[in-house]
Structure 1
């Protein structure tokens, strides 16, 4: 969007000095951005981070402009995206032709109808993992919430993406590799101006993780290409759609798409659900209502695809969960042309930071924003608020296609676990976000698992 530099609407932007930003940003970037956004009431501000001076965009009107109204000027380019490109490549998370090509290929696979058709397979896969949790319950053995959520979600997502083409051993290599890749680029994300010619902490672990991902995914693509049978998995659909571009660049494009979708569907869902357990532990009334619904709908189980539509309060819990803890906590953009946001001139090449985590905590748009209250999302109870006051899955043309998958996969997982077990949190909080590409807790969340009374009575 071109502008007239002399226009009376333009104003000087407030700059937060380096000594007020950098210490907190280096220690806790997630809450630092949220605190700044709250203090300025959603006003557009510039952050002085030494040689790096991005704009922080938190007001819903400004978010809508960047993500939707003027999205062609605010691209997923620039220094923040360089570390992510090294693992995700040119894919659905890119721009231009690679993004258009990938979105065209993937869109039919992530409609509500298509995801619903995969729900039964996900339910069966999730249910199969419950016997392992039952072993822990029987021994009174605590478990790490992040590890268990990642393991269960990974099994379900791998089944959807790769079908029967992948072994459990290879599937279990993907989750820790992606988790390592997302966590080891912290230094690069916080200090994006550092040259790649200079090794920094995390680089070695990152490259090793990417090699592991490639070692798993590329052979599966070649296997799917060689197999003429029709399968309902995503890799088969992508190979069929790109049948005229086999080998080299075509295989690389499928690899990038699969890894991007895997991250959105597996890493994001697992990390988000990890935050749920301390929230339920701290809000027993919410936990009781959630248990009541799951006991009524799922019963003795196993959880089934048709249960998802009946788990209405469960969906409200999940909607509030991703308000407080959106997996994608930061959406960097770069202005490719001179533009304007909220009366402030944005020069071409400027970096813009959008944080759902920060916007979801603005008091102007959310009453008691720090409180966990699923009733906000009760049908008919929601006040009229700006559409972009709530955007846990992004917005505009780049909105995450995996949101339909999340709202099928997550209720199935909760239905499977809570119909059989009661979960307690052994770790002491408070739990804070780690500086990483996805919103994960810094501390381990250790869970105690006990069989529900109904399951215990059945065992006797």
Structure 2
């Protein structure tokens, strides 16, 4: 029933009892949350999971309240963040002073202007790595998409973060370690109330992955600190920063920020592009138009930053890809003091779940929300869209710094691959979202890499 919250009374939240929610959340938590949100038509929903009773918030008005207008009351704290803290520590993904000081240092390094200035180097790194896929194509050997997307992204992101301070061998230890951490954490994410005194599946693998990351990153930090110079890479900037008291960041603070940015910049891009190929296979008209644009703009390559401004349809495809499969599929928050969302009373300490994956599927804001249609993002098509009906990079003060990096890195990768190959899906779907730290397919996606025929009719 509807009650006036301003008068001191509140609307009852919809509730989903444990016997209805738990089974679906254990089998397919990503789609289960989205379906609960769709059925509630954007109303606040309380998930009754025994002692754990979080609120699912999906309506764009309510998302905007949590992420922007009342963001100081909804913090990145609580049981959902505890598993991640063991990897990311106190950093740009934290709160208070660690977040404020980290953002002050990192924000200038992720502006559109700065990313554009290093796009040439990124294009070169991406082209070099994509060229190495020739051996698979010549041998008629399938590639594991997630593995290869991760390797390509890894090389490009390491250039941004570390410059020339990390060897290829060291860098290639990071990607699988981070991947292991991202997947082994899923039990803790699904059962956040489980005490850490109880060993659960994935704990051992997670901590081993954290140790591998530390073994790689800390020596690089010590070397960079000895000669930070005037390099534009992130690690050099972090080594040079001084606080108001004249002291710099310690090794742990630098490590936490590097690891956080690495995850946001590499894991999210690799996971998003893994979803691309099944979508193109299922939508040959979209694929043909994408191929035509890249053939026309890039030709036989190599891809270069000046091509980006002409890859209009490629950007539309990426925007729609992020609508259906946002890498950051869930953004947990904790209410610091009692408040109200959509007329529903939210008590201090309550967990609030924001899910871009769910909001992006609301029928009230998206026509045919489950269909893949890049035309949604044609110029002018989404001008009247609610600002928080689409937020794949979060929003408000905590919006992801890597947005500009993604829209340079991802188109360069797609163009480099499609100017050289015509990938064909080798494994049949359907593909189920796996609730890791970043959204990924539960099933392995594999491709055959056919060569491109350049010239008239090549895209046919």
Please report the TM-score for the alignment, with normalisation by the length of structure 2.
0.96
Any gaps of 5 or more consecutive residues in structure 1? 456-460
Per-residue deviation, residues 218-269 of structure 1 (Å, max 9, x unmatched): 11111111115322211111111148545xx621111111111100100000
The 2-side partners of 1:45 and 1:23 are apart by: 17
Is the CA contact (8 Å cut-off) linking 1:177 and 1:213 kept in structure 2?
A: yes
Structure 2 equivalent of residue 433 of structure 1: 433
Q: Does 1:204 align with 2:208?
A: no
Counterparts of 1:294-373 in structure 2 under 5 Å? 294-373=294-373
Is the CA contact (8 Å cut-off) linking 1:173 and 1:212 kept in structure 2?
A: yes
Is the CA contact (8 Å cut-off) linking 1:48 and 1:54 kept in structure 2?
A: yes
Secondary structure at the counterpart of residue 431 of structure 1: coil
Deviation at 1:15? 1.3
Deviation at 1:131? 2.2
Secondary structure at the counterpart of residue 164 of structure 1: coil
The 2-side partners of 1:193 and 1:386 are apart by: 34
Is the CA contact (8 Å cut-off) linking 1:122 and 1:156 kept in structure 2?
A: yes
The 1-side partners of 2:202 and 2:223 are apart by: 32
Structure 2 equivalent of residue 458 of structure 1: none
Structure 1 equivalent of residue 378 of structure 2: 378
Structure 2 equivalent of residue 393 of structure 1: 393
Q: Does 1:281 align with 2:281?
A: yes
Secondary structure at the counterpart of residue 406 of structure 2: helix
Is the CA contact (8 Å cut-off) linking 1:134 and 1:451 kept in structure 2?
A: no
Structure 2 equivalent of residue 223 of structure 1: 223
Is the CA contact (8 Å cut-off) linking 2:5 and 2:11 kept in structure 1?
A: no
The 1-side partners of 2:356 and 2:33 are apart by: 10
Structure 2 equivalent of residue 24 of structure 1: 24
Specify whether residues 9 and 299 from structure 1 end up closer, same or farther in structure 2 by C-alpha distance, changes over 3 A only. farther
Please report the TM-score for the alignment, with normalisation by the length of structure 1.
0.96
Per-residue deviation, residues 262-291 of structure 1 (Å, max 9, x unmatched): 001000000000000000011111111111
The 1-side partners of 2:394 and 2:433 are apart by: 19
Is the CA contact (8 Å cut-off) linking 2:142 and 2:446 kept in structure 1?
A: yes
Q: Does 1:454 align with 2:454?
A: yes
RMSD: 1.4
Deviation at 1:61? 0.4
Is the CA contact (8 Å cut-off) linking 2:423 and 2:447 kept in structure 1?
A: yes
Specify whether residues 283 and 429 from structure 1 end up closer, same or farther in structure 2 by C-alpha distance, changes over 3 A only. same
Secondary structure at the counterpart of residue 424 of structure 2: strand
Is the CA contact (8 Å cut-off) linking 1:323 and 1:360 kept in structure 2?
A: yes
The 2-side partners of 1:346 and 1:420 are apart by: 53
Deviation at 1:118? 1.2
Specify whether residues 96 and 228 from structure 1 end up closer, same or farther in structure 2 by C-alpha distance, changes over 3 A only. closer
Secondary structure at the counterpart of residue 165 of structure 1: coil
Any gaps of 5 or more consecutive residues in structure 2? 456-460
Q: Does 1:87 align with 2:87?
A: yes
Secondary structure at the counterpart of residue 427 of structure 1: coil
The 2-side partners of 1:15 and 1:57 are apart by: 12
